[in-house]
A and B are shown apart, each in its own frame.
Chain A
Amino acid sequence: EAGVVQSPRYKIIEKKQPVAFWCNPISGHNTLYWYLQNLGQGPELLIRYENEEAVDDSQLPKDRFSAERLKGVDSTLKIQPAELGDSAVYLCASSFTPPLAGGQNANTGELFFGEGSRLTVL
């Protein structure tokens, strides 16, 4: 079974240029996440999709970042314009979230991560 696929693996751009990252989740996974990981830190959630709906984008800097998940499968994360502080690794992850049944689902499980897209802004 293919894992989460991300591209590009590496991207170097000059500040103020646009950049886009693409993610193909594991087949059948309805939930897709974009995380930002700075050097020496843990991943921080940017946006979470349930199918094609962005259900949590509270940490996405909407002035320059945008994301879409058309048809509830692949997703694209865009930065325009990029700033020096955007240099980081952008991680995509997917999971299967079962339907809510009468309350919180404590069995909500693991995330499957891609290899990440490392962005360097010069």
Chain B
Amino acid sequence: SQQGEEDPQALSIQEGENATMNCSYKTSINNLQWYRQNSGRGLVHLILIRSNEREKHSGRLRVTLDTSKKSSSLLITASRAADTASYFCATRSNYKLTFGKGTLLTVNP
């Protein structure tokens, strides 16, 4: 079963624009993580935000977490063609990490 649900399912933008992806989940969590997957490859961890944190930055990434709404957002600023990939949120509850269905981001040069 998949707890997280990303929105939108697909997003197409121009290079240099910002990309925002949202994730909603259903049960209480310890932390929430975002992963990237290039076509035909494994997943790569991007950023982790704990349940007691509200915002976190890493380079061009900004993640927010609203536990009252059970939602998170991932913002990628100044996007590049190399950012083209699928992005997954994953919620950690106890020791279980559950992934959403992902957002396919296409950044056009």
Contacts and interface: CB of A to CB of B under 8 A. Distances in A.
A96 interface: no
Nearest to A109: B48
Contacts of A55: 95
B14 interface: no
Interface of B: 1-2, 4, 30-31, 33, 35, 40-45, 48, 50-52, 88, 90, 92, 94-102
Interface in A16-47: 31, 33, 35, 40-45
Interface of A: 4, 31, 33, 35, 40-45, 48, 55-56, 91, 93, 97, 104-116, 118
A42 B102 contact: yes
B42 A113 contact: yes
Given A108-B31, A108-B95, A115 B41 contact: yes
Contact of B92 (A108, A114, A116): A108
A111 B88 contact: no
Contact of B45 (A35, A44, A112): A112
A108 B30 contact: yes
A113 B1 CA distance: 20
Nearest to B92: A108
Nearest to B2: A42
Nearest to B98: A45
